[in-house]
Amino acid sequence: MNTIVLAAVMAAVQLQNPILFVTQVPLPGDFTTVVSTFGNHLAAVAEAPRGGDLWIRYPDATTKNLTRAAGFGVTGMQGATSIAVREPSVHWSGTKALFSMVVGAPAQQYKWEDYLWQVYEVSGLGPSETPVIRKIANQPAYNNVSPFYGTDDRILFTSDRPRGGERHLYPQLDEYEEAPTVTGLWSLDPTSGDLRLLNHTPSGLFSPSIDSFGRVIFTRWDHLQRDQQADTDATAGGTYGTFDYADESANAARSAQRTEIFPEPRSSRTDLLAGTNLQGISINQFFPWEMNEDGTSEETMNHVGRHELFNYFDRSMNNAGLVEFNGANRSNVNNLLQLREDPSQPGVYYGVDAPEFATHASGQIVKFGAAPSLPADKIAVTYVTTSSTASGHYRDPLPVSNGTLLAVHTAETRDDANEGTRAAPKSRYAFRIKTLAGDPLTQGIQGSVSYWDPDVLVSWSGEMWELSPVEVRARTRPARRTTPLEEPEAKIFREEGVDPAAFRASLAAKNVAVIVSRNVTARDAADRQQPYNLRVAGTSTQKVKGSAKLFDVTHLQLFQADQVRGLGGTASPRAGRRVLARAMHDAATADKVQIASDGSLAAFVPARRALSWQLTDGAGTPVVRERYWLTFQPGEVRVCSACHGVNSRDQMGELPPQNPPEALRALLRTWKSTQAPAPPKKRAVGR
């Protein structure tokens, strides 16, 4: 396309506001690289080639290289002052933005150096202004990516900082390939240095933002299953060298045994499943999640799950009257990535359905409604682009305020591959920001770089990838979202004479939370893949429908995510550890909590550590298993009407339980018995 025609096409992209975006030197490799589905936070040159910049495109179609104008970055040989940039996010005022940047590259062959993604802020975004870039103060010395502003101007970002800051646990290894992962979403006050972990994610989270309702929304990788590398070591003579640490301490004893207690074995472990009624479990999904800005009320977005987003998955048991899930009329979303709310339609979200590998987290654009009041079973995902790759691959969808939908696009329909060499790589993909009609946002941005990777001198010239577009405009700050105590629980607090605020403060001081469920026998109507005819043993509290087997339940068994799985063998282990489920031991409550006669339960649990659980019968046999890790905040009182959730109706066609939970009453009475009585008031002198 000649320059005159291209300029006319660019002018046809009518936008009211500037667009901030980044350029990236293309790289064909797609495993834990800067635009991979997972493990994309690594800062080495091989994972994030230097030479890209932060750019802005104005409504008149002119562009400015902001990082170069502010004195950052170089062309040609990449060394100490070279940069890579990623994921800009605009302030509520529209006058400044956060982004992540890594500075530096090896100056010579075979020189291994540590580099970190750190959060920076850019101001001076106007056409006639000189941009100023400053590093955010007091951030942790780890890889900090995906930054955005809180409603109170705290800085939120994902980081691979260990959950409790323990350097010997670095890096946390994911539950799939045991590759490094971010540990969760963090919140920082740059002035005071106050740093808080908002959720602990054993396999990471991606593309967080705050929507118009005040929810923090993001994609989370859920892979709560047993260690596939350990399974290979056990059954196929694998060479991963998996082993267990006795605990999370730096000098923990190492054992060649591999102990896993939750969840049930993977479906491939036929040796462990033999003689049981279990089908085995394999979970690997990138689903939309939400939480409050302080980390409370973490759950899948609107409680959406596999029943709404998948069209098939297996039952947990094969002889209990359970059935496979077959949602033939539903879209089957492989992974829902890069969520963005439509500014002109609050509660409408765009994302990308993409495979895990070979496409740099690109796929097809989807759209769905998920305002907070919409039950999960009413959420319907539709494809904005074709569900095949016929039109190429898309990522980073950006609905802008005038109704235009921008996206990063490449016309390539195949998986990416290196059609060059290691020293002269050539990606099949040409990522450019375009409208869905195919009109490009820019004329194309050329680059020419060389860098040590660090073993080989890599040289590349050509058109840069354009990624991560965001609209530069002022936005209304949403009200800070909180979760009120609902009436069934508030009634218990009133009757027991306990001030909820004082109770929460007491919990926060001990770094614990409380979880409550009103009636664990209630199950969502759609879920017939786990036992759904349940009875509290020895009581009349039950939910029974149809001829499926009736299960008695007596306890909730709790597990916590401990980093105790090592790799590389006990003699010379590889850095980092994977999470395994271990019986809960970080809170005052025992790991097994009895279910009350009304079906309710309540328990003290550790804060800021991922937890999961299962219902068991009197013999301790698991009945219904949780499929996700959840994190709770200090002082939080988290209430679920039913364990494992009811969307609109339960298995009996009834609304979610509203009974005041008697288990909460018992817990409050126990708590009151541990509180020191207030000292007697002194009488005034002379009275």
Determine how β-strand 555-566 pairs with β-strand 577-583. Answer: antiparallel
What are residue 578's DSSP bridge partners? Answer: 173, 565
Which among 304, 303, 337, 309 is positioned nearest to 325, based on CA atoms? 309
DSSP-derived secondary structure for 405-426: EEEEEE---SPP-BSS-SSS--
Q: What is the pLDDT of residues 333-365, one digit of tens each?
A: 989 999 999 999 999 999 999 999 999 999 999
Q: pLDDT digits over 391-432, tens only?
A: 999 999 999 999 999 999 999 999 999 999 999 999 999 999
Judge contact between 417 and 28, C-beta under 8 A: yes
DSSP letters of 257-312? -----SSPPPTT-HHHHTTSSB------EEEEEEE-TTS-S-EEGGG--HHHH-SE
In this model, does residue 480 exceed pLDDT 90? Answer: yes
Q: How confident is the model at residue 5 (pLDDT cuts 50, 70, 90)?
A: very low
pLDDT higher than 50, residue 12: yes
Residue 1: per-residue pLDDT: 47
Which token pair is 497? 């004479």
Q: Are 636 and 512 a contacting pair, CB within 8 Å? A: no
Please tell me which residue, 288 or 320, carries the higher pLDDT value: 288
Enter the DSSP assignment of 344.
T
Query: Is the pLDDT reported for residue 683 higher than 70?
Result: no
Strands 155-159 and 184-188: antiparallel
The whole-number pLDDT of residue 329 equals 67
Instruction: List the structure tokens of 135.
Output: 């590093």
Q: Classify residue 498 as left (phi > 0), alpha (psi -120 to 50) or beta.
A: beta
First to last CA, the chain: 97
Judged against a pLDDT cut of 50, whether residue 231 lies above it is answered with yes
Dig out the tokens for 380 from the structure.
């319907």
pLDDT at 479 exceeding the cut of 90:
yes
In 13-64, which ranges are continuous DSSP H helix? none
Contact 175, 38 (CB under 8 A): no
Contact 218, 209 (CB under 8 A): yes
Enumerate the domain spans of the chain: 3-221+407-471, 487-674
- 686 falls in which pLDDT band (50, 70, 90)? very low
Least confident range of 11-25, 91-105, 119-133, 157-171:
11-25
Give percent of the chain above pLDDT 70: 96
DSSP labels, 555-583: EEEEEEEEEEEE-S-SSSPPS-EEEEEEE
For residues 245 and 229, what is the distance between their CA atoms, to the nearest angstrom? 16
Q: Look over the chain and give the mean of its residue pLDDT values, rounded to a whole number.
A: 95
Determine the pLDDT at residue 678: 59
Q: What is the mean pLDDT of residues 254-263?
A: 96
Strand order in the sheet with 457-463: 76-77, 446-452, 457-463
Q: pTM to 2 decimals?
A: 0.96
| Spatial contact of 208 and 196, defined as CB atoms under 8 Å apart | no
pLDDT band at 290 (very low <50, low <70, confident <90, very high): very high
* Amino acid in the structure at residue 378: K
- C-alpha span between 491 and 31 (Å, rounded): 52
CA 107 to chain centre: 35
Nearest CA among 26, 627, 69, 40 for reference residue 316: 627
Residues 157 and 88: beta-carbon distance below 8 Å: no
| Contact predicate 435/61, CB 8 Å | no
Q: Does pLDDT of 684 surpass 70? A: no
What value does the mean pLDDT take over residues 578-585? 98
Q: Please count the CA atoms within 13 angstroms of the CA of 3 that sit on its side-chain side.
A: 0
pLDDT tens column, 368-391: 999 999 999 999 999 999 988 889
Q: Work out the pLDDT band at 8, boundaries 50, 70, 90.
A: low
244 within 8 A of 565, measured Cβ to Cβ: yes
